[in-house]
Amino acid sequence: MEIIRVIVFDLLSSAPILVGVIALTGLILQRQSADKVISGTLKTIVGFLVFGVGSAAAVTALDSFQVLFAEGFGLKGVLPLAEAVTALAQERFGTTVSMVMLIGFVCNLLVAKFTPLKYIFLTGQHNLYLAALLTIMLKALGVSNAVTVGLGGLMLGICAGLFPAIAQPYMRKVTGDDELAMGHYVTVGYALSGWIGSKVGKPEDSTENLKLPAWLTMFKDYVVGVSITMVIFFYVAAIAAGKVAVEELSGGVNWLVYPLFQGLSFAAALYVIITGVRLFLGEIVSAFVGISEKLIPNAKPALDCPVVFPFAPTATVIGFLAAYAGGLVTMVIMGIMGTIVIIPVAVPYFFIGATAGVFGNATGGWKGCIAGSFIVGILIAVGPALIYPIMENIGLTGTSFPETDFNIVGLLVYYIGQFLQNIF
C-alpha cells in the first residue's frame, strides 16, 4: 500500500511528473535522439512547474482576497473547494481513494485505446479529486470498499475519456485545431459557455479585438488590465474589512499598501502561468504524436484549464469577473431563501470563470465571454449546494465540490444507487 500511495499521491497526482513521463514516452516512441528526448522531457516538466509556481502565487493572492472579502462583508457558509473535500475524504477513506485513482488511470488508457473516446486525461490532481468524489458517493450508499474501488475506478476511467469529448467541439474553436483537449472537470460548464456564446454574439467581436477609447487601450495588454482590475478588487475588499483586519493579515504592512501589492502579485502570477503554458505546450503536443502513432492511435492529451489562457488573455480577466458576479448574485439569493449559502471562493472562480470566458469568447466574442461565464458562475454555486447534503450525511462538512462535472456525476451516482437499492 505504501508503494501504491507513492505512485498515486507523489507520481500520478503530480501533473509535471505525469506529463513528463508522457512526453518521454512519446519522444522515445518517435525514436528521437537522446538530446531531444532529454530536452523535450525537461522542458515539459519545467514548463508545468513554472505553471505551478504561477498557480500557487495566484492562489496565495486570491486566498488573501477571500479572507478580506469574507471579513468585510460578514459572509459565513460553505466554501466550495475540491482540494478541501479531497483532504477530508483522504482522512476517512485514504486507501480506497488511492485505489480508485490508480485503477481509474489504467481504465482511462483502455478507454482511449479501444473506444472512440481518444482522450488521455493528464491533469492528475483532478483525477484525484474525482476519485475522492466517487468514493464519497459510493460510501454514502453503504457500498463495500472492494466494490467502491472496482466500480469507482471504472467510472473514473470512463469520465476521463468522456468529459473532454463533451468540450472538444468548442475546444477546437478556442485553439484553432484538434490537437489539445480540456482536462478539467468543468467541461459541461465550458461547453455550455461556448454554446451560450454562439447564441448571444459573434466570434469576430473577440475580447482581444475590442476597439477601446484611447485611454482604455492600455487594457488590451492583459498584464495592465489584470493589474488594474485586481488592485481595485483588493481595495474594495480591504476597505470593507477595515484597517485592523488588513494589517493582521498582512503581518504589519500598511493596510493601504497591502492591497496594491496583492493585486500586482496576482497579475505577475497570471503572467507566470501563461509563460509556463507556452513553454510546455509545444513540447507535449509534438511528443504526443509518438503515443498517437504507436500505442493509442489518434489519442489527444487532455490538459489543465490554463492551457487556453494564452489564446485569449483578456477574456480570462473578463470571464473571472463575470463568473464571480454570478456567484455573488447566487449567494445573495441563497441567503434570502434561507438555503445553504455557497460563498464564491476566489480561487476556483478565477480558474473556472477565466476558462469559461475563453470558451464563450471563441464563439460569441465579448458578449459570449460575459454571458457564458456569468451562467457558469451560477452553476458552480448551485451544484455544490445540491451535493452538500449527501456529503454532510457522512460527516464531511464546511466545504463542497464546485466543478460542474463532479456534481453531475456525484448526484447521478448517488440517486441512481439509491434507486437500485430500493429495487433490489
Q: 209-244, pLDDT tens digit by residue?
A: 877 666 666 666 767 877 887 888 889 889 999 999
- Among 109, 44, 129, which Cα is nearest to 296's? 109
Q: What are phi and psi of 334, to 5 degrees?
A: -60, -40
Question: Which of residues 240 and 95 earns the better pLDDT score?
Answer: 240
| Residue carrying the nine cell digits 485545431 | 177
At residue 124, the pLDDT reads 76
Tell me the three cell numbers of residue 155.
467510472
The pLDDT assigned to 269 comes to 85
Cell (9 digits) for 388: 452538500
Mean pLDDT of 75-98: 79
Output the pTM of the full model. 0.80
What average pLDDT score do residues 407-415 get? 96
DSSP state of 78: B
Residue 238 cell numbers, joined: 480591504
Distance between CA atoms of 21 and 18, rounded to whole angstroms?
5
Instruction: For cell 466554501, name the residue.
Output: 79
Candidate ranges 73-87, 235-249, 274-288, 293-307; pick with highest mean pLDDT: 235-249
3-state secondary structure of 395: coil
- Beta bridge partners, 78, equal 342
How high is the pLDDT of residue 8? 66
Q: Give me the pLDDT at residue 13, please.
A: 62
The model's confidence at residue 422, banded by pLDDT at 50, 70 and 90, is confident
User: What does each C-alpha distance from 335 to 78, 312, 328, 349, 404 come to in angstroms?
Assistant: 12, 35, 11, 19, 21
- CB under 8 Å to 265, separation ≥6 — which residues? 57, 60, 61
* Confidence at residue 274, expressed as pLDDT on a 0 to 100 scale: 75
pLDDT for 97 equals: 85
Of residues 23 and 194, more confidence is placed in 194
Strands 79-80, 399-400: pairing kind? parallel
Residue 296: its pLDDT value, please?
Answer: 87
Please determine, for residue 265, whether its predicted confidence score (pLDDT) is greater than 80. Answer: yes
Of 104-113, 155-164, 283-292, where does mean pLDDT reach its minimum? 283-292
- Among 80-84, 126-130, 256-260, 370-374, top mean pLDDT goes to 370-374
Residue of 127, 133, 87 whose CA lies nearest to 7:
127
Distance CA 17, CA 260 (A): 35
Interval 25-54 mean pLDDT: 85
pLDDT band at 76 (very low <50, low <70, confident <90, very high): low
In sign, the C-alpha dihedral spanning 53, 57, 63, 69 is: negative
Give the relative orientation of helices 243-250 and 258-294 as an angle to the nearest 10 degrees: 50
Give the SS3 label for residue 79. strand
Q: Which of 50-64, 106-120, 209-223 has the lowest mean pLDDT?
A: 209-223
Whole-angstrom distance, CA of residue 185 vs CA of residue 127: 9
pLDDT grade for 255, boundaries at 50, 70 and 90 = very high
Angle at 190 between CA 61 and CA 350, to 5 degrees: 10
Joined together, the cell numbers standing for residue 245 give: 483586519
| Cα–Cα distance, 205 to 208 (Å, whole number) | 8
The confidence score (pLDDT) of residue 222 equals 67
Residue 214's pLDDT is: 67
How far apart CA 54 and CA 320 sit, in angstroms, is 17
Q: What is the mean pLDDT of residues 107-129?
A: 90
Kindly give the residue spans of alpha helices, DSSP state H, lying in 338-401: 346-393
- The pLDDT value given to residue 329: 96
**Residue 333 pLDDT level (bands cut at 50, 70, 90):** very high
Q: Which tens digits make up the pLDDT trace of 351-402?
A: 999 999 999 999 999 999 999 999 999 999 999 999 999 988 888 778 889 9
Report, as an integer, the average pLDDT of 21-44: 85
Q: What is the dihedral sign for C-alpha 193, 188, 414, 384?
A: negative
Q: For position 275, what pLDDT does the model report?
A: 82
Q: In sequence order, what DSSP letters do the residues of 300-337 get, joined into one string?
A: EEEE-GGGGGGG-HHHHHHHHHHHHHHHHHHHHHHHHH
* DSSP code for 342: B
